[in-house]
Amino acid sequence: MDISLIGVPIMYGCDRQGAQYGPDKLRQKGIVELIKKYKNKVYDLGNLHIPYVSEIDKFAFHDKIKYLKAVAEINTNLAHWVFSALSSGSFPIIIGGDHSLGLGSISGSSRFHKELGVIWIDAHGDINTPETSPSSNAHGMPLGAALGVGEESLVNLYFDGPKVKAENTFIIGARDLDEGEVKLAEKLKINLYTMDTIKKRGLESILEEVIDKINNSNIDGIHLSFDIDVMDKRLVPGTGTPVENGFNLEEAKIILKDILETKMVKSMDLVELNPLLDENDATSDLFIELVDHIFKYL
Ligand SMILES: [Mn+2]
Say what angle helices 203-215 and 249-260 make with each other, to 10 degrees: 20
Residues 81, 285: Cα–Cα separation, whole Å: 27
Q: Is residue 212 flagged as an active site residue?
A: no
Q: Is residue 122 flagged as an active site residue?
A: yes
Q: What confidence score (pLDDT) does residue 23 get? A: 98
Catalytic option among 229, 232, 269, 278: 229
What contacts 231, CB < 8 A, 6 or more positions away? 246, 247, 248, 249, 252, 286
192 alpha carbon – ligand 1 mean position (Å): 14
What contacts 105, CB < 8 A, 6 or more positions away? 78, 79, 82, 92, 94, 223, 225, 267, 269
Residues 271, 107: Cα–Cα separation, whole Å: 17
Give the residue-averaged pLDDT of 178-184: 96
Give the residue-averaged pLDDT of 14-33: 98
Q: What confidence score (pLDDT) does residue 228 get? A: 98
Contact between 265 and 298 under an 8 Å Cβ cutoff? The reply is yes
Residues 258, 254: Cα–Cα separation, whole Å: 6
Residues 151, 128: Cα–Cα separation, whole Å: 10
Angle formed at CA 36 by CA 35 and CA 42, multiple of 5 degrees: 85
Catalytic option among 15, 62, 98, 122: 122
Element containing residue 174 per DSSP (H, E): strand 169-174
CA 19 to chain centre: 14
194 alpha carbon – ligand 1 mean position (Å): 14
Q: How confident is the model at residue 31 (pLDDT cuts 50, 70, 90)?
A: very high
Element containing residue 266 per DSSP (H, E): strand 265-271
Radius of gyration of the chain measured on its C-alpha atoms? 17
Q: Is residue 99 flagged as an active site residue?
A: yes
- The count of other CB atoms within 10 Å of the CB of residue 59 is 13
Q: Is residue 139 flagged as an active site residue?
A: yes
Give the residue-averaged pLDDT of 195-216: 98
Q: What's the CATH number for 2-297? A: 3.40.800.10
Residues in the chain, how many?
298
Residues 254, 16: Cα–Cα separation, whole Å: 31
Q: What confidence score (pLDDT) does residue 147 get? A: 98
Determine the residue type at 28. Answer: Q
89 alpha carbon – ligand 1 mean position (Å): 27
Q: How confident is the model at residue 145 (pLDDT cuts 50, 70, 90)?
A: very high
Determine the residue type at 128. Answer: N
Q: What confidence score (pLDDT) does residue 134 get? A: 95
Q: Is residue 220 flagged as an active site residue?
A: no
Say what angle helices 102-112 and 68-87 make with each other, to 10 degrees: 40
* Chain segment 258-293, per-residue pLDDT in tens: 999 999 999 999 999 999 999 999 999 999 999 999
DSSP state of 48: P
The proportion of the chain whose per-residue pLDDT surpasses 70, expressed as a percent, equals: 100
pTM: 0.98
3-state secondary structure of 280: coil
Catalytic option among 124, 151, 181, 232: 124
Q: Is residue 272 flagged as an active site residue?
A: yes
